[in-house]
Amino acid sequence: MASKRSTLTVILALLTTVLLAGVQPAGARVVAVGERGVIALSDDGGATWRQAPCPVSVTLTMVRFADDRHGVAVGHGGTVLMTSDAGANWVVRLDGRRAAQLAKEAATTPQEQREAERLVSDGPDKPFLDVIVWDATRFLVVGAYGLAFHSSDGGTTWSPWMARLANPKSRHWYMARRAGNALWLAGEQGLLARSTDGGETFQSVASPYQGSWFAGELQGESDSGRLDPLQRRQSGDFQ
């Protein structure tokens, strides 16, 4: 059996060599996620770190918290993880196979049916890349090839939202943000969508830039939801 010292050495070596893709505060704790299913926790502002157990070994791309204890992490293989103890323990709430089956069951048009069949046949190879967290029970996860799934019961059940989003080329969604009832999604090849009713409906937004939007932040907390992408440091809605 490995000693505590040797185990600690392995953990420290892992944390210094893997890519950490997302980081968020959970109260006084800092939670970071990254390659190989690594979830790292710090309770002293990043001075020291320890690794939390993770039920998957795929790359995790983003983590967000609703409050000091309840959080969601997303990643490759259509993975969605949730925690209710500030990141100390995690459970799988969605994976790529289940997501593909849900899309197939919800498909109503020939195009939706073709896309769903492709998801099923491809297997769980598509990552989720961002997540909106309303509270401890409501989430929207988005990702590659236009994937978008919503849960309002803490991840017990999920609804595909791809049909709500005009994305005929199935381009990637890289970013999702919320301010009040305003939601913004941004992604590949200038892809932009906005909702002003909490996600019930979305409108496509003309982009001033035809490259991909990888990150951005909303300005203020009102329902106006002004988006400030990092590639275009200018406040205000897009024209």
* Mean pLDDT within 30-55: 96
Q: Mean pLDDT lowest for which of 157-166, 184-193, 208-217? A: 208-217
> Which pLDDT score is estimated for 215?
85
Q: CA quadruple 132, 134, 136, 140: dihedral positive or negative?
A: negative
For 124, the token pair is: 């769980």
User: What are residue 173's DSSP bridge partners?
Assistant: 187
Residue 114: helix, strand or coil by DSSP?
helix
The torsion defined by the Cα of 119, 164, 58 and 33, in degrees rounded to 10, comes to 170
User: With a threshold of 0.75, does the pTM exceed it?
Assistant: yes
Question: Over the stretch 193-236, which tens digit does the pLDDT of each residue have?
Answer: 999 999 999 999 999 889 999 888 877 655 555 555 544 433 33
Digit-coded pLDDT (tens) for 132-154: 999 999 999 999 999 999 999 99
What is the model's pLDDT at position 6? 44
Q: Give residue 235's pLDDT.
A: 35
**How much is the average pLDDT of 55-63?**
97
Stretch 168-178: mean pLDDT: 95
Least confident of 18-27, 119-128, 226-235: 226-235
How many whole angstroms separate alpha carbon 237 and alpha carbon 239? 6
Instruction: Please state the rounded mean pLDDT for residues 169-196.
Output: 95
Tell me: pLDDT of 9 over 50: no
User: Which positions ≥6 away from 29 have C-beta within 8 Å?
Assistant: 41, 42, 43, 86, 87
In this predicted model, which residue has the larger pLDDT, 223 or 122?
122
Instruction: Please choose, from the candidates 95, 96, 102, the residue with its C-alpha nearest in 3D space to the C-alpha of residue 81.
Output: 95
What is the reported pLDDT for 236?
Answer: 36
Residue 238's pLDDT band (boundaries 50, 70, 90)?
very low
Q: Rounded CA gap, 42 and 200, in Å?
A: 37
Q: Is the pLDDT of residue 79 over 50?
A: yes
Mean of the pLDDT values across residues 113-124? 93
**Predicted confidence band of residue 1 (pLDDT cuts 50, 70, 90):** very low
pLDDT averaged over the chain?
A: 88
